[in-house]
Structure 1
Amino acid sequence: MCATVLAANILVQFPFEPFGLADYLTFGAFTYPFTFLVNDLTNRRLGPVRTRRVVYVGFALAVALSAAFATPRIALASGTAFLTAQLLDATVFNRLRRRAWWMPPLLSGFISSALDTVVFFSLAFAGTGLPWQSWALCDYAVKLLMIGIFLGPYKVIIARMPVWQPPGVRA
């Protein structure tokens, strides 16, 4: 989790130049969505309490490392967005846990990615003169695409691991 956030925080500083997309995407758009996959797999396997612990530890480590390897502003924006979005993701996922296998990761990802995108890009880049609004819209589109793509690996992985059951509930 921490490595993914750190990589995204470093890569968000570099516009995605191929195909003339520098005003629309940064390289961070392609790494950060993995955090939602990790969060959902952790939630599915270990439950919401342990997932929140992973989020808190990931938050602390990622902010400290991002401040060293990115900029303080990006570290603060990332930490704030990460903490709020990942906790929301864990909550929504847990509420949908008993639905069809694809529903919790898809809906929690769509909702929490929107929050993450708004919080991160507005805190990290507002007032800088950079095209952060278009970066945010395209970043969110990439997150949605990757959440859809990740459904395949998610299904394969959850089929191979035991599912967490709330205390007092029998399978």
Structure 2
Amino acid sequence: MTRILPGILAMAAIVVASNILVQFLFGQWLTWGAFTYPLAFLVTDVMNRVYGPKSARRVVLAGFVIGIICSFIGTQIHGEIGPLVTLRIALASGTAFLVAQLIDVAIFDRLRKGAWWRAPLASTLVGSILDTTLFFTIAFAASLTFLEPANDVSWANEAIPLLGAGPIVPLWASLAVADWMVKLSLAIIALIPFRMIVDRLRAQAV
């Protein structure tokens, strides 16, 4: 457990930071949390490459527990229109994180013997698609209103052009696409620190 403690601490920091920064808007479609949360995939992949899938899953589970704690705290803090974290947001966040990260671990492990960049890139891309789809659908889709009838998500279902210029879709679809585009960009950029961190950890282990 000691050897993966840095990974657990890094994951905890990312989860906590993302839960705080998601409260602050960045432009029309994003929050600042969109730029920190994708780093969770980097941490998972580094742990997977250096210590294996079992250790990576432990880091993921630690992040999941931290996320639950953050969601609980958020439900106790009330803003102008209610609690900062609703039941649907908490359910969406926890489900998306756990499913996406565990799928990331599985795909990475399957591809680990290929080119060094293939496993982290493929696993992060698939994981980020799942994460984005699960979170925004569970949190905002009108068809899932029964999950929390008292939570009014009509604002997220306003019909507008996709990202302001595409076909007419619910607002939350634009938020989801913008969020995934950030994840996609960071998945590519993160290949550089991934290689550097892995090489350093392996050198320290020698």
Show structure 1 runs of 4+ deviating over 4 A. Answer: none
Which residue number in structure 2 is paired with residue 65 of structure 1?
70
In structure 1, distance between residues paired with 2:110 and 2:66: 27
Structure number, greater radius of gyration: 2
TM-score by length of 2: 0.72
Counterpart check, 1:9 vs 2:49: no
1:48-59 equivalence runs, <5 A: 48-59=53-64
In structure 2, distance between residues paired with 1:133 and 1:5: 23
Counterpart check, 1:162 vs 2:202: yes
TM-score by length of 1: 0.85
1:33-48 equivalence runs, <5 A: 33-48=38-53
Identity level (%)? 51
Question: Which structure is higher in RCO with an 8 Å CA cutoff and minimum separation 6?
Answer: 1
- Asked if structure 1 preserves the Cα contact closer than 8 Å seen for 2:92 and 2:135, the reply is yes
Which residue number in structure 2 is paired with residue 144 of structure 1?
184
Counterpart check, 1:118 vs 2:123: no
Gaps of 5+ in 2: 1-10, 75-83, 143-152, 157-170
Structure (1 or 2) with the greater strand fraction: 2
Deviation at 1:158? Answer: 1.4
Structural RMSD (CA): 1.6
Gaps of 5+ in 1: 164-171
Tell me how many residue pairs correspond in the alignment. 158
